[in-house]
């Protein structure tokens, strides 16, 4: 018998009727199949961070590849550079997946957050009718009132020697008066055709499975899998003048001209140098 999630209970978490809880049992029935990537979908009412929880399980070898952990509410969610990610309960999708990319050289694992970005953007376009762009390396952008706004982010973390946990956060029904920072957005504010979190989560996980299996089948080759080309086509950072704020407090300014075979952003500086950036905070200085 499939265990019953706390999220399946009919309790006071229905207090906001515009934000019904997810049904873990229904999600498992829809997504877990013989021979598929997803082996379990667990929904919890609240936690500190789904990434931290899943990393701990993977490190202790208590979770297999394909476990999906979804939280209705996170109170210690993290983005890149340890930035805090908070949102009202059930206003978005906050989940992490456990991947063990056997057969893929470790040096290509850096493509996983970019692959996830492509998968999420593709799914949101199809299921919600929202044109989603990618800001290198891991932000999801939508257009609200003619302005680009961040509606989601991705965080990948190593878990032991053979696993990666990829965390995904998507603002779904966040309202204007609930936005945590200027420049934030949501699917609802972008005019999505659906804000049903169940529908969106299923579409995202199916898209992620398709891209991950395609990438893994060619040993993580970004060109052979079509990942590098697809990411570049949807990347709002390319063609813009940007400032890369690097670890250590230095920065580089230049035009973003390419994403190379290692997933790095290549900047053409005023000095005529093409400088690859593997890690850093990117600030868009001029529209494409």
Together in a domain, 64 and 94? yes
Together in a domain, 115 and 195? yes
Check: CB of residue 38 under 8 Å from CB of residue 205.
Answer: yes
Mean pLDDT of 135-160: 95
1's tokens: 């018998």
Largest CA distance in the chain: 65
Together in a domain, 52 and 121? yes
Top mean pLDDT of 69-78, 245-254, 259-268 is at: 259-268
Mean pLDDT of 264-269: 97
pLDDT score for 87: 81
Q: E-strand spans in the chain?
A: 40-44, 67-71, 77-78, 84-85, 92-99, 133-135, 139-144, 147-159, 163-171, 241-245, 251-259, 265-268, 274-277, 281-284
Whichever domain contains 186, its CATH number is 3.30.930.10
Together in a domain, 140 and 245? no
For residue 1, is it within any domain? no
Handedness of CA 205, 96, 42, 18 (dihedral sign): negative
For residue 123, is it within any domain? yes
pLDDT score for 11: 45
For residue 189, is it within any domain? yes
Together in a domain, 245 and 277? yes
Domain residue limits at 138: 24-233
Together in a domain, 31 and 112? yes
For residue 12, is it within any domain? no
Together in a domain, 226 and 250? no
Residues 6+ apart with CB under 8 A from 5: 23, 24, 25, 42, 43, 44
Its pTM stands at 0.91
Together in a domain, 167 and 224? yes
% residues pLDDT > 70 (the chain): 90
Q: Is the pLDDT of residue 10 over 70?
A: no
Whichever domain contains 259, its CATH number is 2.30.30.100
Q: Mean pLDDT, the chain, as a whole number?
A: 91
Checking 269-276 for CB contacts under 8 A at 24+ apart, the result is none
Q: Please identify, among 192, 208, 233, the residue that sits at the C-terminal boundary of a domain.
A: 233
Check: CB of residue 89 under 8 Å from CB of residue 196.
Answer: no
- The total of structural domains in the chain comes to 2
78's tokens: 């993290």
Together in a domain, 114 and 244? no
Model confidence over 96-121: pLDDT tens digits? 999 999 999 999 999 999 999 999 99
Mean pLDDT of 220-225: 98
Q: Which of 58-67, 85-94, 121-130, 171-180 has the lowest mean pLDDT?
A: 85-94
For residue 253, is it within any domain? yes
CA-wise closest residue to 205 among 6, 49, 41, 3: 41
Q: Is the pLDDT of residue 4 over 70?
A: no
What phi, psi does 111 have (nearest 5°)? -80, -15
pLDDT score for 61: 87
For residue 28, is it within any domain? yes
Together in a domain, 56 and 43? yes
Q: Please identify, among 233, 248, 268, the residue that sits at the C-terminal boundary of a domain.
A: 233
Q: How far apart are CA 123 and CA 120, in angstroms?
A: 5
Together in a domain, 167 and 272? no
For residue 7, is it within any domain? no
Mean pLDDT of 71-88: 71
Q: E-strand spans in 51-200?
A: 67-71, 77-78, 84-85, 92-99, 133-135, 139-144, 147-159, 163-171
Mean pLDDT of 7-35: 79
Residues 6+ apart with CB under 8 A from 222: 108, 111, 215, 228, 231, 261, 263
Check: CB of residue 222 under 8 Å from CB of residue 150.
Answer: no
For residue 5, is it within any domain? no
Together in a domain, 242 and 225? no
pLDDT score for 89: 94
Mean pLDDT of 260-287: 94
Q: Is the pLDDT of residue 7 over 50?
A: no
Q: Which of 15-24, 123-132, 172-181 has the lowest mean pLDDT?
A: 15-24
């Amino acid at each position: 018998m499939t265990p019953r999630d706390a999220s399946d209970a009919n309790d006071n978490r229905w207090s906001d009727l515009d934000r019904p809880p997810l049904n873990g049992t229904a999600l498992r029935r829809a997504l877990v199949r013989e021979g598929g990537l997803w082996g379990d979908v667990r929904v919890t009412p609240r936690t500190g961070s789904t990434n931290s929880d899943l990393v701990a399980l993977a490190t202790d070898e208590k979770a297999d590849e394909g476990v999906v952990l979804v939280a209705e509410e996170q109170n210690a969610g993290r983005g890149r550079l340890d930035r805090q990610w908070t949102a009202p309960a059930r206003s978005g999708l906050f989940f992490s997946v456990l991947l063990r990319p056997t057969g893929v050289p470790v040096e290509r694992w850096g493509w996983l957050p970019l692959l996830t970005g492509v998968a999420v953007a593709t799914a949101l376009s199809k299921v919600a009718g929202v044109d989603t762009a990618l800001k290198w390396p891991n932000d999801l952008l939508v257009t609200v009132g003619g302005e680009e706004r961040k509606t989601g982010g991705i965080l990948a973390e190593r878990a032991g020697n053979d696993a990666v946990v990829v965390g995904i956060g998507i603002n779904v029904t966040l309202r204007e008066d609930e936005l945590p920072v200027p420049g934030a957005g949501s699917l609802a504010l972008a005019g999505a055709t659906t804000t049903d979190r169940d529908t969106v989560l299923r579409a995202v996980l199916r898209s992620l499975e398709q891209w991950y299996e395609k990438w893994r089948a060619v040993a993580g080759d970004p060109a052979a899998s079509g990942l590098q080309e697809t990411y570049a086509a949807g990347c709002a950072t390319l063609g813009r003048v940007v400032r890369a704020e690097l670890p250590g407090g230095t920065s580089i300014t230049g035009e973003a001209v390419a994403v190379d075979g290692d997933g790095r952003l290549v900047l053409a500086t005023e000095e005529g140098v093409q400088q690859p950036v593997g890690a850093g905070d990117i600030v868009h200085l001029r529209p494409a």
